[in-house]
């Protein structure tokens, strides 16, 4: 089915309100999730609603929590998400970093104990729109590992996102936002719910053999996600674990920590004002010239043109804003069940579904 963004935002907001969130937090979280869908990242979109509602019910997500600063030395800030909506505390941490980088030129902010942050590119884009460069190392804890280290068939890591954004004067920023696994776990979930295969090279079955069947991640005997780019992706995933988790969060996937089935992110982000170098115009000149040079390369067979990071998301957003957001039936039924779990009555659900305009 296709659902338009605006009514979908309203419906998801109502679900979070029914689950106990305040209006501002419910809307901000819903808007973030739907924006992920609009940009083509269904893995981080409204398909996460059942997880959020379930964690509110189990006491693993506090819908009223806000970021709290635990340590502040000027250019280094440690903040605690207090297990609140990641979309709320993540944005609060990004706003703090933006304000501080404008004062100091460079800031390092560690955010710990955030419930699922969603699409990390959202925070990087926020920094870039303020004219700032940002680098984000993120780990995932609270549940069993999903990703095997390079050379192993056993799970030891998570999908550990890495993100970098570079601003462009008068144009959209360049945003590299990626899981360090071959694909995001949410993409495996979407494939599983829709009965589709995943791309080659993404999964290993229980015996360590390559497979395209997403059931290996959800049904016994379970396999593992592999890292992207063989040992390179594994190395970057480990760095996200050590910096986002070990340094900022003091909470990594090592088995000394309890795994209770929730989704917690720790993030270490560096935010830099390019003007601190004194060569903003020269920097932008190089950025724009390099982008033109790269995009001017002749495409190979099967490609219409060369794109830069962030461009596929903008193309997806234009298409889905016009045509609607595709959601498979199984994922949609899970969202409706989450609405019931949150306490929405059948009349309210029917009203929300009936107003989806899709």
DSSP string, 210-271: EE--GGGGTSSSP-EEPBTTTHHHHHHHHHHIIIIIIIIIS--SSTTS---S--EEEEEEEE
28 pLDDT more than 90: yes
Question: pLDDT averaged over the chain?
Answer: 95
3-class state of residue 88 by DSSP: helix
The length of the chain in residues reads: 358
Mean pLDDT of 54-64: 98
Mean pLDDT of 233-262: 97
3-class state of residue 197 by DSSP: coil
190 pLDDT more than 90: no
Residue 355: pLDDT band by 50, 70, 90 thresholds?
A: low
CB-neighbour burial class of residue 229 (10 A; exposed 0-12, middle 13-18, buried 19+): middle
pLDDT at 351: 82
357 pLDDT more than 60: no
Mean pLDDT of 291-299: 97
Cα separation of 263 and 266, whole Å? Answer: 10
Q: Which two tokens stand for residue 234?
A: 């594994």
Residue 179: pLDDT band by 50, 70, 90 thresholds?
A: very high
Render pLDDT for 269-280 as a digit per residue (tens, 0 to 9): 999 999 999 889
Instruction: Provide the 10 A C-beta neighbour count for residue 219.
Output: 11
358 pLDDT more than 80: no
pLDDT at 7: 96
Residue 266: pLDDT band by 50, 70, 90 thresholds?
A: very high
Cα separation of 132 and 105, whole Å? Answer: 9
Q: Which two tokens stand for residue 315?
A: 């193309």
Cα–Cα separations (whole angstroms), residue 115 to 150, 156, 317: 28, 21, 25
3-class state of residue 313 by DSSP: helix
Render pLDDT for 123-132 as a digit per residue (tens, 0 to 9): 999 999 999 9
Mean pLDDT of 36-60: 96
pLDDT at 97: 98
pLDDT at 126: 98
85 pLDDT more than 80: yes
Cα separation of 254 and 7, whole Å? Answer: 42
Mean pLDDT of 239-266: 97
Residue 186: pLDDT band by 50, 70, 90 thresholds?
A: confident
Residue 354: pLDDT band by 50, 70, 90 thresholds?
A: low
87 pLDDT more than 70: yes
Mean pLDDT of 190-195: 90
**In the chain, % of residues over pLDDT 90:** 93
Cα separation of 329 and 172, whole Å? Answer: 34
Instruction: Considering only residues 342 and 184, tell me which one the structure prediction assigns the higher pLDDT.
Output: 342
Cα separation of 90 and 118, whole Å? Answer: 9
List, in order, residues 6 or more apart from 202 with CB less than 8 Å away.
Answer: 181, 182, 183, 188, 212, 225, 226
């Amino acid at each position: 089915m296709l659902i338009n963004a605006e009514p979908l935002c309203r419906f998801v907001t109502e679900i979070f309100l029914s689950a106990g969130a305040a209006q501002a937090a419910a809307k901000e979280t819903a808007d973030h999730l739907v924006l992920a869908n609009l940009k083509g990242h269904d893995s981080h979109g409204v398909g996460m609603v059942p997880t959020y509602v379930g964690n509110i019910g189990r006491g693993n997500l506090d819908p009223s929590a806000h970021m709290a600063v635990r340590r502040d030395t000027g250019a280094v800030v440690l903040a605690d998400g207090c297990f609140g909506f990641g979309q709320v505390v993540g944005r609060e941490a990004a706003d703090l970093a933006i304000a501080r980088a404008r004062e100091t030129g460079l800031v390092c902010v560690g955010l710990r104990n955030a419930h699922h942050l969603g699409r990390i590119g959202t925070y990087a884009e926020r920094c870039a729109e303020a004219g700032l460069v940002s680098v984000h190392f993120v780990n995932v804890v609270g549940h069993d590992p999903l990703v095997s280290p390079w050379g192993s068939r056993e799970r030891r890591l998570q999908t550990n996102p890495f993100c970098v954004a570079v601003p462009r004067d008068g144009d959209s920023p360049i945003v590299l936002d990626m899981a360090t696994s071959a694909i995001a776990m949410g993409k495996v979930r979407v494939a599983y719910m829709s009965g589709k295969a995943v791309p080659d090279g993404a999964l290993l079955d229980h015996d360590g053999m390559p497979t395209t069947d997403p059931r290996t991640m959800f049904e016994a005997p379970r396999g593992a996600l592999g890292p992207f780019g063989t040992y390179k992706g594994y190395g970057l995933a480990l760095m996200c674990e050590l910096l986002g988790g070990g340094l900022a969060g003091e909470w990594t996937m090592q088995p000394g920590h309890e795994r209770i089935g929730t989704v917690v992110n720790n993030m270490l982000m560096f935010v830099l004002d390019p003007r601190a170098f004194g060569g903003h115009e020269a920097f932008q000149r190089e950025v724009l010239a390099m982008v033109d040079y790269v995009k001017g390369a002749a495409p190979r067979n099967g490609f219409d043109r060369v794109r830069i990071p962030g461009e596929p998301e903008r193309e997806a957003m234009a298409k889905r804003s016009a045509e609607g957001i595709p959601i498979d039936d199984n994922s949609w039924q899970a969202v409706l069940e989450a609405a019931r779990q949150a306490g929405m009555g059948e009349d309210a659900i029917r009203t929300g579904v009936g107003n989806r305009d899709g």
